Amino acid sequence: IEGSTLSLHETRMVIEEGVTIGEKPLKDVLSAKNHPEAIDCLVELVQLGTPLTEKVVLTLHTLVMKDIKDDAGSYRDHGVRVAGATFQPAKSGEVPRLVKELVDWADRNMEELSPLELAAVFHHRFVQIHPFSEGNGRTARLIMNLMLMQMGYPFIINITNRDRGKYIRGLREADHGNRAYFVNFIARSAERVLDIYLNAIEEPDILSLKEASELTPYSQEYLSLLARRGRIGAFKEGRNWYISMRELNRYMKETGSKGTPEPQ
C-alpha cells in the first residue's frame, strides 16, 4: 500500500487477523484495514454494472481514507505540491469541474481507445489533477482497476514494491507527454496477472507450496516469500498459497535449478 511502513506479513496480519501492529503508525494500520473494503466495493460495482461516475470516485476515496482523514470523500479545498513532480496540480477551485470532465472523457472514449490505454491515461490524468489532500494514488489505482474489471480484465494485483520504480517512471514519462511507457507498464501488469489465472485454470496439477517444496530444492518458506514478492505465479485461497506444476517448472527452468519436476 502506497507509503505504508507495514511489511507484507504485517499487512496480511492486519487484514486477515485484525491485529494491530505495535510501534507502527495508526494511519498505516487503518490503510491496510480499509483496502479490502474498497476492493469489495469494486467487485460489487462490476457485478451491478455501475458506470464510473463522480459519485463512484468520491465513494472509493471515502473507503480508502476512512478514519484516516476528516475530509475523506471530499475534494481538497487548498493548493498542494507533489514532491518530485514536474507538474503543478490543479487549483482547488477547478478540481470538481476537471474530475467531471475526466469522467465524461472516459465515457466518450470507451470505443476509441483500448481498455488498457483508456484506464492508464485516466489514471495519469487523475493523478495530475490531484483532487484530494491525500490518497490520490490509491484512489487512482482503484479506479483504473474498476475500469479494467468492467471491461473483462482481472484486478491488477501485481503493482508490487518491485515494480514501484517502473510505475513512478511511467507516470513521470507521461508528465512529459510520453504515455506509451506507462500504458505498456499497465499492459504488462495485466498480462502477468492473466497468466497466473490461466495457469491456475488450465493446469490440472495444482500444488500447495508444501507439496511444491518436496519437489524442489526450495523450502516452503522460501517459495512463500517468492509468491508474496510476485516472483512466482502462485495464487492464494484462504490463508494458503498454491502453484501450478507448469508455473513451478517454468521457475525451475528459469533459475536453472536441479530436480525440475515434470507434469504427470
Concatenating the DSSP letter of every residue in 144-172 gives HHHHHHHTTPPP-TT--GGGHHHHHHHHH
Q: CA 82 from chain center: how many Å?
A: 21
The phi and psi torsions of 208 (rounded to 5 degrees) equal -70, 160
Asked whether residue 23 falls in the same domain as residue 114, the answer is: yes
Q: Is the residue at 1 inside a domain? A: no
Given a contact cutoff of 8 angstroms between Cβ atoms, the answer to whether 88 and 138 are in contact is no
pLDDT over 70 percentage in the chain: 80
Instruction: Name the average pLDDT for the chain.
Output: 82
Q: Which of 58-62, 88-92, 184-188, 198-202 has the lowest mean pLDDT?
A: 198-202
Most confidently modeled range among 27-31, 174-178, 201-205, 227-231: 174-178
The phi and psi torsions of 68 (rounded to 5 degrees) equal -105, -45
Q: Is the residue at 145 inside a domain? A: yes
CATH code assigned at 167:
1.10.3290.10
Instruction: Tell me how crowded residue 211 is: count the other CB atoms within 10 A of its CB.
Output: 15
Asked whether residue 140 falls in the same domain as residue 236, the answer is: no
Q: What is the pLDDT of residue 7?
A: 47
pTM score above 0.85:
no
Q: Which helix (H) or strand (E) element contains residue 235?
A: strand 235-237
Quick check: 6 pLDDT over 50?
A: no
Q: Is the residue at 262 inside a domain? A: no
Asked whether residue 64 falls in the same domain as residue 143, the answer is: yes
Q: Is the residue at 153 inside a domain? A: yes
Instruction: Tell me how crowded residue 107 is: count the other CB atoms within 10 A of its CB.
Output: 11
Q: Is the residue at 260 inside a domain? A: no
Residue 108: pLDDT band with limits 50, 70, 90: very high
**What is the domain count for the chain?**
2
Q: Is the residue at 147 inside a domain? A: yes
Asked whether residue 116 falls in the same domain as residue 140, the answer is: yes
Q: What is the pLDDT of residue 16?
A: 38
Which residues constitute the domain of residue 186? 8-198
Active site residues: 130
Asked whether residue 190 falls in the same domain as residue 207, the answer is: no
Sign of the alpha-carbon torsion through 112, 116, 119, 123: negative
Asked whether residue 110 falls in the same domain as residue 22, the answer is: yes
